[in-house]
């Protein structure tokens, strides 16, 4: 196939590198939802997971591979037979499967981690690519910690894996050490010294430890790379990866400079970002570029004045171009099931009858206490009713007594499996009492690391969106709940965190092996 030299491929690793980071673990159903949305977003390659890492990862990759048709589906594998065979078993059902295999190339990793010589590692890299190639033509290779590797050894490795059949070679800045100019120079060096470089696409995979992941990726692109590895909202190991929305919108907004294009449907960006925060319960900071709550909010009088006169004065891209619409009010008290279904379809959610009934009932309840229902409210309901696995605990009843003369007391019923358990809890305040009741019923006592309350949309009738983070061994788990009553939202969020924790305990015996 002839290469289009102006096209930049977008490789999304939210479900692999992103999912590895604390608080972002997802169950298979949630991964599928996100994969479907990534396909709608138009990403070229979805890295669906690391199949050798756990049974759960393997199953999720397999299901995504079976279902996703338009995007390529990649499975990650270390450069050894067991990993590569397992990755292939997981992705072989895909319309366009890709094996992504990797081994470190820096002397630091070779000496302290792999304890192998350069020659040995080079041999293993080539053998891994050849084995992957025996399964599929679509093989990607990554020399891990490339930016701290000896340049000429890197040249040898890149050219050897291309000879062995790698069609994409990714240059990871694994520890987020590079500075844009330097990263750009490294890519240029490879183009100047790897004889067969035109036989592969060169990719960037930048971590954000110095806050430079997007800048480094763009520097790589300026110097010939044509694939960006990135994640939604920039999630990923430590400080995260290149944020897809930022890299894509930079390429689009500064087309005059780059002269390149991607096949991303940018109007799906905001929805994808929201879906990820709904699933994981972790919001982006308000000033986050492109998808933060303030990204398009102009506060200064001078700016507002300019905008009224002519948008171009202070707006370099429109909110609509990333899928943020001007008017958000969507439904109200009188919206029927059809209107809800129609609107959800417009938002990109196709529900079956049972799911629609659940959502419609929740919308009706909400409309009783809240005049206008926004997209964000619907998404909050969807995340509670639909994007959930089997829950061990369900909130049935909550009554809280509080005030300046009462001892805050919560009486609560929770369904635990088939049984309904009722207990009370006391605390310093109503939230504390609510959480105490939950701990008494569930016989758990995980340290509470974070408790955050946000209003979804404006107004005093807005739903409260609560995020709770609990500590479990060296992990943490996040739960989310939304309700017009903040105490109910808090109870739901705490219970959601416990359900997620149960899921993690039973499904993830995962050993973290890579960054
Ligand atoms: O950061 C890294 O080096 C990785 C590789 C597995 C590509 O995630
Ligand atoms: Zn990485």
Ligand nearest to the CA of 241: 2
CB-neighbour burial class of residue 482 (10 A; exposed 0-12, middle 13-18, buried 19+): buried
pLDDT for 509 equals 43
Q: Which residues contact 114 (CB under 8 A, 6 or more apart)?
A: 103, 104, 121
**Stronger pLDDT, 275 or 298, i.e. the higher one:** 275
The domain locations on the chain are: 11-280, 297-385, 393-513
Q: What is the pLDDT of residues 226-239, one digit of tens each?
A: 999 999 999 999 99
Which residues pair with residue 201 across a beta bridge?
A: 168
- How many angstroms separate the alpha carbon of residue 174 from the centre of ligand 2? 5
**Tokens describing residue 367:** 């409309």
Q: Which residues contact 312 (CB under 8 A, 6 or more apart)?
A: none
Confidence band for 283, pLDDT divided at 50, 70 and 90: confident
Distance from C-alpha of 114 to C-alpha of 149, rounded to nearest angstrom:
14
Confidence band for 280, pLDDT divided at 50, 70 and 90: confident
| Cβ-based neighbour number of residue 98 at 10 Å | 25
11-280: CATH, from 2.40.160.20, 2.40.50.140, 3.20.20.70, 2.40.40.20: 3.20.20.70
Q: Which of 148, 227, 514 to mutate to test the pocket of ligand 1 (most atoms within 8 A of CB)?
A: 514
Q: Which of 172, 183, 206 to mutate to test the pocket of ligand 1 (most atoms within 8 A of CB)?
A: 172
User: Measuring from atom 3 of ligand 1, which residue has the nearest CA?
Assistant: 174
**Stronger pLDDT, 278 or 412, i.e. the higher one:** 412
Assess whether pLDDT exceeds 60 at residue 328.
Answer: no
Which residues pair with residue 168 across a beta bridge?
A: 140, 201
Q: What is the pLDDT of residues 152-163, one digit of tens each?
A: 999 999 999 999
Confidence band for 331, pLDDT divided at 50, 70 and 90: confident
Distance from C-alpha of 411 to C-alpha of 444, rounded to nearest angstrom:
17
Q: Which of 205, 213, 220, 235 to mutate to test the pocket of ligand 1 (most atoms within 8 A of CB)?
A: 205
Long-range contacts, 390-395 (Cβ 8 Å, 24+) = 391/495, 391/499, 392/416, 392/417, 392/498, 392/499, 392/502, 393/442, 393/495, 393/498, 393/499, 393/502, 394/495, 395/488, 395/491, 395/492, 395/495
pLDDT for 385 equals 76
Q: What is the pLDDT of residues 107-129, one digit of tens each?
A: 999 999 999 999 999 999 999 99
Assess whether pLDDT exceeds 70 at residue 515.
Answer: no
User: Measuring from atom 2 of ligand 1, which residue has the nearest CA?
Assistant: 174
Ligand nearest to the CA of 231: 2
Fold equal for 11-280 and 393-513: no
**Stronger pLDDT, 346 or 419, i.e. the higher one:** 419
Residue with tokens 């995007």: 71
- Residues lining ligand 1, Cβ inside 6 A: 17, 102, 142, 144, 170, 172, 174, 205, 207, 514-515
SS3 label, residue 381 = helix
Q: Which of 11, 15, 17, 104 to mutate to test the pocket of ligand 1 (most atoms within 8 A of CB)?
A: 17
**Tokens describing residue 37:** 């949305």
Q: What is the pLDDT of residues 444-454, one digit of tens each?
A: 999 998 898 87
Q: What is the pLDDT of residues 86-97, one digit of tens each?
A: 999 999 999 999
The enclosing H or E element of 425 equals strand 419-426
Distance from C-alpha of 502 to C-alpha of 392, rounded to nearest angstrom:
8
CA dihedral 439, 443, 448, 451 (to 10 degrees): -40
- How many angstroms separate the alpha carbon of residue 16 from the centre of ligand 1? 10
C-alpha neighbours within 13 Å on the C-beta side of residue 312: 1
Confidence band for 513, pLDDT divided at 50, 70 and 90: very low
- How many angstroms separate the alpha carbon of residue 388 from the centre of ligand 2? 27
The enclosing H or E element of 122 equals helix 118-135
pLDDT for 185 equals 98
DSSP code for 511? P
Distance from C-alpha of 47 to C-alpha of 57, rounded to nearest angstrom:
12
Atom number of ligand 1 nearest to Cα 229:
7
- How many angstroms separate the alpha carbon of residue 142 from the centre of ligand 2? 10
Assess whether pLDDT exceeds 50 at residue 319.
Answer: yes
**Tokens describing residue 416:** 């635990």
DSSP code for 309? H
- Architecture of the domain made up of 393-513: 2-Layer Sandwich (3.30)
């Amino acid at each position: 196939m002839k290469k289009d030299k102006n096209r930049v491929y977008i490789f999304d690793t939210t479900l692999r590198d992103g999912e590895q980071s604390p608080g972002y673990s997802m169950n298979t159903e949630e991964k599928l939802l996100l994969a479907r949305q990534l396909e709608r977003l138009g990403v070229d390659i979805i890295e669906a997971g690391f199949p050798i890492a756990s049974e759960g990862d393997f199953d999720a990759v397999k299901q995504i591979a079976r279902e996703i048709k338009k995007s390529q589906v990649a499975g990650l594998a270390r450069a050894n037979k067991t990993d590569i065979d397992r990755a292939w078993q997981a992705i072989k059902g895909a319309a366009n499967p890709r094996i992504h295999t990797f081994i470190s190339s820096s002397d630091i990793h070779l000496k302290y981690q792999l304890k192998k010589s350069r020659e040995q590692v080079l041999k293993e890299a080539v053998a891994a690519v050849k084995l992957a190639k025996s399964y599929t033509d679509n093989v990607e290779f990554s020399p891990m910690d490339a930016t701290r590797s000896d340049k000429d050894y890197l040249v040898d490795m890149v050219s050897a894996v291309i000879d062995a059949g790698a069609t994409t070679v990714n240059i990871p800045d694994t520890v987020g050490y590079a500075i844009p100019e330097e990263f750009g120079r490294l890519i240029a060096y490879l183009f100047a010294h790897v004889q067969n470089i035109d036989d592969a696409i060169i990719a960037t995979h930048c971590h954000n430890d110095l806050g430079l992941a997007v800048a480094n990726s763009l520097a790589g692109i300026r110097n010939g790379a044509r694939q960006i590895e990135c994640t939604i909202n920039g999630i990923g190991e430590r400080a995260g990866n290149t944020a897809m929305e930022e890299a894509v919108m930079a390429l689009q907004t500064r087309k005059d400079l780059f002269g390149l294009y991607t096949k991303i449907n940018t109007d799906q960006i905001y929805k994808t970002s929201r879906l990820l925060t709904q699933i994981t319960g972790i919001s982006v900071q308000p000033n986050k570029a492109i998808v933060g709550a303030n990204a398009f909010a102009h506060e200064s009088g001078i700016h507002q004045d300019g905008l009224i006169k002519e948008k171009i004065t202070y707006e370099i891209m429109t909110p609509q171009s990333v899928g943020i619409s001007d008017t958000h009010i969507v439904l109200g008290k009188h919206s029927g099931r059809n209107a809800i279904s129609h609107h959800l379809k417009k938002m990109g959610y196709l529900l079956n009858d049972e799911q629609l009934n659940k959502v419609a009932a929740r919308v009706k309840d909400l409309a009783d206490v809240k005049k206008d229902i926004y997209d964000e409210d619907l998404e909050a309901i969807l995340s509670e009713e639909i994007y959930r696995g089997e829950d061990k605990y369900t909130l049935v009843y909550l009554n809280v007594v509080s005030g300046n003369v009462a001892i805050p007391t919560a009486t609560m019923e929770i369904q635990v499996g088939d049984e309904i358990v009722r207990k009370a809890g006391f605390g310093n305040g109503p939230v504390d009492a609510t959480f105490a009741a939950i701990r008494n019923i569930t016989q758990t006592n995980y340290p509470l690391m974070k408790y955050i309350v946000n209003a979804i949309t404006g107004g005093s009738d807005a739903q409260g969106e609560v995020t709770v983070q609990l500590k479990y061994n060296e992990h943490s788990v996040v739960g989310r709940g939304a309700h017009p009553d903040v105490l109910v939202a808090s109870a739901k969020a705490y219970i959601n965190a416990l359900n997620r924790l149960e899921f993690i305990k039973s499904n993830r015996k995962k050993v973290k092996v890579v960054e």
